[in-house]
């Protein structure tokens, strides 16, 4: 199983970015998958998750601004981030876990099976 993130970068507050997570080794629709972020010195936070049923779960801090989705044909997970704020600055990681069924459960779980290498998002004020 391999997860490769891309799409991070620097943007001004109010701007948008779309993160991608290319998956190999399994089908994105069959696992619970999600996006997490971490700032140095702080705990990793579950941002958005999606399960095999298509249900999603979002952190309160990103609700209404971020959207998680997947493209089964491209076997890719996405995170559309709009109205970005400086506090969204972090390393963003894609994760997958075959043993978790529900998006809400995955978002609050730290020990997951598969992780990508991360992509950095920097939002300036």
Cβ neighbors of 36 (< 8 A, separation 6 or more) are: 44, 45, 46, 47, 92, 93, 95
CB 93 within 8 A of CB 36: yes
pLDDT at 66: 98
* pLDDT, position 65: 98
What's the pLDDT at 110?
83
Local confidence pLDDT in tens for the 125 residues of the chain: 899 999 999 999 999 999 999 999 989 999 999 999 999 999 999 999 999 999 999 999 999 999 999 999 999 999 999 999 999 999 999 999 989 999 999 999 988 999 999 999 999 99
Separation of alpha carbons 8 and 18, rounded Å:
8
Helix-then-strand count for the chain, H and E = 1, 11
Query: Which residues touch 97 (CB under 8 Å, ≥6 apart)?
Result: 31, 32, 33, 106, 109, 112, 113, 114
């Amino acid at each position: 199983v391999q997860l490769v993130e891309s799409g991070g970068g620097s943007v001004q507050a109010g701007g948008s970015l779309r993160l991608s997570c290319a998956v190999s080794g399994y089908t994105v629709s069959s696992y619970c998958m999600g996006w997490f972020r971490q700032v140095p010195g702080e705990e990793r936070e579950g941002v958005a998750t999606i399960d095999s049923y298509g249900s999603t779960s979002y952190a309160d801090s990103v609700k209404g601004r971020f959207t998680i989705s997947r493209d089964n044909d491209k076997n890719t997970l996405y995170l559309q981030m709009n109205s970005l704020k400086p506090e969204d600055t972090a390393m963003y990681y894609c994760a997958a876990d075959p043993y978790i069924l529900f998006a809400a459960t995955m978002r609050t779980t730290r020990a997951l099976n598969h992780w990508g290498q991360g992509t950095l998002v920097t939002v300036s004020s």
